[in-house]
Amino acid sequence: MEDKKIKNYSIQSDIDQNAFEHVGQDLDSMNEIARPSISFWKDAFGRIKRDKVAIIFIAILAAVALYAIFAPVFSPYTMSEQHYAHMNAGMFFSEGDCFHIFGTDTLGRDLFVRLAEGARVSLFIAISAVAINCVLGIIYGGISGYFGGVVDNVMMRIVEVINGIPYLLIVILLMVILPRGIMTIVIAYSTVGWVGMARLVRGEVMRLKEQEFVIAAKTLGASSTRIISRHLIPNILSLVIVNLTLAIPSAIFTEAFLSFIGLGIPVPGASWGTLANDGIVIFQRFPLQLILPAFFISITMLSFNLLGDKLRDAFDPKLRR
């Protein structure tokens, strides 16, 4: 044992101490940020850009929007222009100078242009109604959730009364009373469509108002308006955006349903619902006139719904890696 210790000592004594350098703590490398600091919104939209499925749905919705905007502008036909010699023509019908990509309807009107006009009307109604619902719901739910107490009880009882009546029944009654038109549908849907957003915002505001940053703002003397507008609403925007993408398909379906039963856009206007209503009459002979508007309704609603699911995952901080 003593011989082994002597041997190890002789090996260590042969090591030149000058071959080593004392480094110590490298403060620069310790303070260096290994991962770049990114905001919540930048991280969320970065995950959306990396999601191929979400990009596909965004591209589909962008294509529908571009089709609705530019197809009537560049088409040689108008929405109400009739060609009696080419009634109920099929897809890619061509004769002489006439060329109809999606064919024509029973009055010889170009379906390519009418579907684009229908997309304009349906998307405008859906987005306008949902935007109004969003504003009303955020204001109503924010006030109810922040003040609580008697104010919250009274406001929520009103919401429960409105929510207890089937919203579609209220919309139909308003459509019967008011003159038919685009703005009538927007007003009818906005009358009851804000209830869901209000309840959602109220719940989030009641949760957030007990957080430390809200208590600190109150301690510093911030007014209720400033706390709601600068602290509470920005923190629920991600939830609101997801809810918006899921509410737009519902508004599109409501408009299509009202137009389908004859309470929508009056003639000669066109929406996807009115085109489907016209197509079902001659579905057995010319099924394409129902399939085309049904396809656009389905693909748009599906894209909004699935994009809403992807946005919900992207805005969830628990899924951040």
Annotate 69-115 with three-state secondary structure.
HHHHHHCCCCCCCCCHHHCCCCCCEEECCEEECCCECCCCCEHHHHH
Angle, CA of 242, 249 and 266, to the nearest 5° = 140
**pLDDT value at 187 more than 70:** yes
Considering the chain, what is the average pLDDT of its residues? 81
321 versus 191: the higher-pLDDT residue is 191
How many angstroms separate the CA atoms of 315 and 41, rounded?
Answer: 8
Residue-level pLDDT at 251 = 85
- Provide the b/e sequence for 271-283 (b: ≥16 CB within 10 Å): bbbbbbbbbeeee
The length of the chain, given as a count of residues: 321
Residue-level pLDDT at 218 = 85
Mean pLDDT of 156-168: 83
**pLDDT value at 103 more than 60:** yes
* Confidence grade of residue 299 (pLDDT, cut at 50, 70, 90): very high
pTM, two decimal places: 0.76
* CATH class of the structural domain 40-79+93-319: mainly alpha
- 69-73, 261-265, 272-276: segment of lowest average pLDDT: 261-265
Under 8 Å between Cβ of 134 and 197: yes
Residue-level pLDDT at 40 = 64
Q: Which run of H or of E encompasses 59?
A: helix 52-74
Under 8 Å between Cβ of 104 and 93: yes
Residue-level pLDDT at 108 = 85
5 versus 119: the higher-pLDDT residue is 119
Mean pLDDT of 254-260: 81
Residue-level pLDDT at 2 = 52
